[in-house]
Amino acid sequence: MRRAFAALIALPLLQTTAAAQTVDAQKVAAGMAVYNSHCVRCHGEGLQNSGWTYDLRRLRPGDNARFVDSVLNGKGQMPPWRGALTEAEIETIWAYIRATVDH
C-alpha cells in the first residue's frame, strides 16, 4: 500500500520534471539560434572565444544580471543590443551559455 501511495505522489513530480526539461531544452535551442545569429561572430562558435572578446564561458550562474546589463547597454568593445534583442531572447542566450558551460 505504501509503495502504491509513493508511486502516486512521485508520478506528478516526474511528469513536472520531464516537462521542465523539455522547456529548458527548447529554451537552450532557441538561445543557440539567437547566439548563432547575433553573437557568434565575436564570441565564437560554441562559445569557443577567439581571444579578442570577452570569453562568455567565464560567466558564472550568479552573473545573469551583469550579462543582461552588458548585452542591453554594451560594454567595452561590445555595442548595446537594446532594441535589437528582446529580453526574452537575451534570456535564451543565457540558457544556452549555462547549458554549454555547466554541462
pTM of the prediction? Answer: 0.78
pLDDT of residue 9: 56
Write out pLDDT tens, residues 4-63: 545 555 555 554 454 446 659 999 999 999 999 999 999 999 999 878 899 999 999 999
In the chain, the number of structural domains is 1
Kindly report the CATH number assigned to the domain that includes residue 58. Answer: 1.10.760.10
Residues 6+ apart with CB under 8 A from 96: 28, 31, 32, 34, 35
d(CA 85, CA 93): 10
| Domain hosting residue 25, numbered range | 2-102
- Burial of 83 from C-beta contacts in 10 A (0-12 / 13-18 / 19+): exposed
Contact of 38 with 32, CB cutoff 8 Å:
no
